[in-house]
Amino acid sequence: MSRNGKIILLVLLAAAGLSVAAVAARRGETDHPVARITWDGEVVEEIELDRVGRGYSFTLESQEGSNTISVEKGRIRVAQADCPDQVCVDQGWIADGTVPIVCLPHKLVIEIVGGGSAFDAAAG
């Protein structure tokens, strides 16, 4: 194998290794999960998931379509969406910061951030 080939192979292996490490590092519970809902580039809602009592749902609507979001203690999901691909609905509940829920057609992102003491101070 030529020198270039070896370099590329090494770079690929390094990329694979780093990705596995990143996946492993992101796992882990957030002790104070906060769901941040970003819609069309703006944060519209931040929900402290461990303070949710009874579960509830609400709907975000724009001319592009609507998403119904369900919240329960410690977890959140998109229950219904009128987009063609249904990727966000199929993803189901998320409870930690591993991966966010993304609805590309409606420009909606739900991510879970570990709200530490800084968030508590801001929330008063």
Partner 1 sequence: MTRRRAEGAGRLTRLALLTAIALTIFLIEAQLPALTTIPGIKLGLANIVTVYAVFTLGPRDALMILCARVFLGAVFSGQMTTLWYSAAGGLLSWCALCLLRKALDKRQLWLSSPVAGVCHNLGQLLAAAAMLGTWAVLAYLPYLVLAGLLAGLFTGVAAQTLIGRMEKLGR
> In the complex with partner 1, which residue's Cβ is closer, 92 or 116?
92
Both tokens of 62, joined, read: 């724009």
Residues 18-37 vs partner 1: string with x where CB under 8 A?
Answer: xxx-xx--x---------x-
Verify binding: residue 107, partner 1, rule CB under 8 A.
yes
CB 81 within 8 A of CB 88: yes
Nearest distance from residue 5's CB to partner 1, in Å?
Answer: 4
The count of other CB atoms within 10 Å of the CB of residue 55 is 11
- The neighbouring-strand residues paired with 110 are 37, 101
Q: Binder to partner 1 among 27, 31, 53, 90 (CB under 8 A)?
A: 90
